[in-house]
Structure 1
Amino acid sequence: MKRLLIILHDLSAGGAEKMMARLAGALVEAGNDVTLLMLTGGGVNVALLDPRVKQVALNSPRSASAVPALARFLRHNRFDAQLAALTHVNVVAIAAAALSGTLTRLHVSERNAFSRDKHVNPSLRVRLAYWLAPLLYRLIPNPVICVSRGVARDLVETTIARDRDVTIADNPVLDNDFLQRTPGRPTHPWLLDKRTPVIVAVGRLAAQKGFDTLIEALARLQDRRVRLLIFGEGGLRTELLEQAARLDVAGRVELPGYTPDPMAQIAAADCFVLSSRFEGSPNALVEALSTGTPVVSTRCPYGPQEILEDGAVAPLVPVDDAEALAQAISIEMAQPRMRHYPSRISAAARYMSGRAVQTYLVALLGEQRS
């Protein structure tokens, strides 16, 4: 049994946080002693943690100020491997590991397209972390774990990181028995009482997710009965609702907020759409495939091309092209629902916890670089 540590800022409602909670459980299931440490603490995804995962919260007011406390924790609690996630947390973890003498055990991970994600948060501290990270990635003894080939390639092509500075591990998105599980009951009235076709999307209400393009695509559909549900929270709620009103589709668009069971909503829908401008490895897309629901995605960097096998599994359309998105949605919804069901399930199966956790164990416990 190996002692493993996962380091996060908290377990809020983001995709990376959700995957780290799932990874912690999968590592426990694989026979390891796992601790999940939060620099700040709390968040809705705490509910996803396997009860066998030990929890530690440093309760720091900010991630950056947690370095001394994290260094003390690492010095007094020796782990076989330490894994940090998200760029600003990676920088904190590298500093703490260097101070505690545990740098050889530390692994950091990138969950998104680095060249795009660094422009999202205007905070000076976050921007400084993105400036420092590539330099640190060249100096640390273990390669950066990336969630897709695209994320790894982006890091190498747009920073000073080298090919030998990166490796890849899959997200543990799905339970091993996902095929045997019956989808949960949807919560929204449009899905409970299906009177018209419904499109579902899931994600933060942020520019990255391209929901403005999706609403415009809805307005271009010839079938004026089609409705759109976007599950998620974020700062663009008001702007998206105002856009829907301008396009005269306000009565066909709702933003119900965060859902703890997105797969239940997607399974009851007629189509799932990923309209993102960039991603790392979109977990919602994998979850959608696992339900068998028809899927349409943008060909955004990075992730959808790998997951959808360059369009062989489901349509890929250009980013920010509302007309192409509308056409792809219309075609998918006009086809028999089960037409490409086997290929969707097969593509999703790559991201079962049992398979994905092995890619992490190789990355965490394999031979270190010389």
Structure 2
Amino acid sequence: MKRLLIILQDLGGGGAEKMMVRLAGALTDAGNDVTLLMLTDTGVNSACIDPRVKRVELHSARSSRAVPALARFLRQNRFDALLAALTHVNVVAIAAATLSGTLARLHVSERNAFSHDKHVNPALAVRTAYLLAPLLYRLIPNPVICVSRGVAQDLVDTTITRAQDVTIADNPVLDNDFRDKAPGRPNHRWLLKKTTPVIVAVGRLARQKGFDVLIDAFARLADPDVRLIIFGEGALRTELFEQAVALGVADRFDLPGYTSDPLAEVAAADCFVLSSRFEGSPNALVEAMSTGTPVVSTHCPYGPQEILDNGAIAPLVAVDDPDALAQAITVELTLPRDANRQARIDAAARFISARAAKTYLDALAGLSS
């Protein structure tokens, strides 16, 4: 049994936090003693933590101020391996591990397209972290764990990070027995009593997710009865709703907020759409595929191309092209719902928790052996 520590900012509703919670459970299933440490506070994903996983909260006002407290914790508690997630947390963890003499056991991970993600948050501390991270990645003893080949290559191509400074491990998106589980009951009224085709998307209401393009594409569909639901929270809620009003589709469009069971909603839909401008390895796309529901995705950097086998599993369309997106959605709504269903499910199976746990244990200095 190995003692493992996963370091996060908090347990908010983001994909990285969700995946680290799932990874903690999968690593525990593999026979390890796992602790989740939050630099600041808890969050919505705390409800999903495996009861066998230990929890520590440092209650720092900001991640950047957590270095002393984290260094003390690392000195007082010996772990066989440490894993940090997200760029600004990685920088904090590197500083604390250096101060505590535990740098040799630290592994950091990149969850998104670095060259794109660095422009998202304008906060000075975050921008500073993105400036420092590539230099630190060259100096630390263990390679950066990336969630896809695209994320790894982007880090190498756009920073001073070298090929030997990166490695790859898949996200633990799905339960090991996902094929045997029937989907839950959807909560949305349009999916509970479906009278017309329904398109579903899931994600933060942020520019990265391209929901403005999806709404534009939705308005261009020839069928006036199709409905669109986007599950998620974020700063663009009002802007997206106003766009739907301006395009005359507000009566067929809904922003119901965060859903605790996206698989149930997607499984009942007629099509799932990933409209992102960039990603790392889109978990929502994998989850949608696992239900067998038809999917359409943008050919965004990075992840969809790998997950969808260059478009062999499901359509890939250009980023920021509402016409192409509308055409692809129309085709999927026209085809029999079960067309290529098994191929979607089989492709999603790569991301089961047990397999992901092994790839992470291998990345954590060969701890799976």
Identify the TM-score tier after normalising by the shorter chain: over 0.9
Question: How many Å apart are 1:41 and its aligned residue?
Answer: 1.6
CA deviation digits over 1:209-262, x for unaligned, max 9? 000000000000000100000000000000000000110001011000000100
Provide the residue aligned with 1:212 in structure 2: 212
Provide the residue aligned with 2:64 in structure 1: 64
Provide the residue aligned with 1:127 in structure 2: 127
Question: How many Å apart are 1:58 and its aligned residue?
Answer: 0.3
CA deviation digits over 1:306-346, x for unaligned, max 9? 00000000000000000000000000111111110111011
The alignment's TM-score, normalised by the length of structure 1, stands at 0.99
Please tell me the residue identity of whatever aligns with 1:21: V
CA deviation digits over 1:79-120, x for unaligned, max 9? 000000000000000000000000000000000000000000
Q: Match of 2:230, SS?
A: strand
Partners of 1:252 and 1:281 in 2: CA distance:
30
Q: Match of 2:66, SS?
A: helix
Please tell me the residue identity of whatever aligns with 1:197: P
Provide the residue aligned with 2:360 in structure 1: 360
Partners of 2:158 and 2:82 in 1: CA distance:
26
User: Matches of residues 82-231 of structure 1 in structure 2 within 5 Å?
Assistant: 82-231=82-231
Provide the residue aligned with 1:239 in structure 2: 239
Partners of 1:56 and 1:102 in 2: CA distance:
18
Identity of aligned residues (%): 76
Report the count of equivalent residues. 367
Provide the residue aligned with 1:47 in structure 2: 47
Question: How many Å apart are 1:68 and its aligned residue?
Answer: 0.2
Partners of 2:17 and 2:252 in 1: CA distance:
31
Q: Match of 1:296, SS?
A: strand
Provide the residue aligned with 2:307 in structure 1: 307
CA deviation digits over 1:246-292, x for unaligned, max 9? 10001011000000100000000000000000000000000000000
Partners of 1:81 and 1:11 in 2: CA distance:
20
Provide the residue aligned with 2:18 in structure 1: 18
Partners of 1:309 and 1:75 in 2: CA distance:
45
User: Matches of residues 242-253 of structure 1 in structure 2 within 5 Å?
Assistant: 242-253=242-253
Please tell me the residue identity of whatever aligns with 1:285: L
The alignment's TM-score, normalised by the length of structure 2, stands at 0.99
Question: How many Å apart are 1:365 and its aligned residue?
Answer: 3.0
Partners of 2:3 and 2:366 in 1: CA distance:
14
Q: Match of 1:350, SS?
A: helix
CA deviation digits over 1:120-161, x for unaligned, max 9? 000011000000000000000000000000000000000000
Q: Match of 1:241, SS?
A: helix
Q: Match of 1:171, SS?
A: coil
Please tell me the residue identity of whatever aligns with 2:347: A
Provide the residue aligned with 1:277 in structure 2: 277
Please tell me the residue identity of whatever aligns with 1:296: V
Please tell me the residue identity of whatever aligns with 1:54: K
Please tell me the residue identity of whatever aligns with 1:182: A
Partners of 1:224 and 1:309 in 2: CA distance:
32
* Structure 1: 4+ residue segments shifted above 6 A: none
Q: Match of 2:364, SS?
A: helix
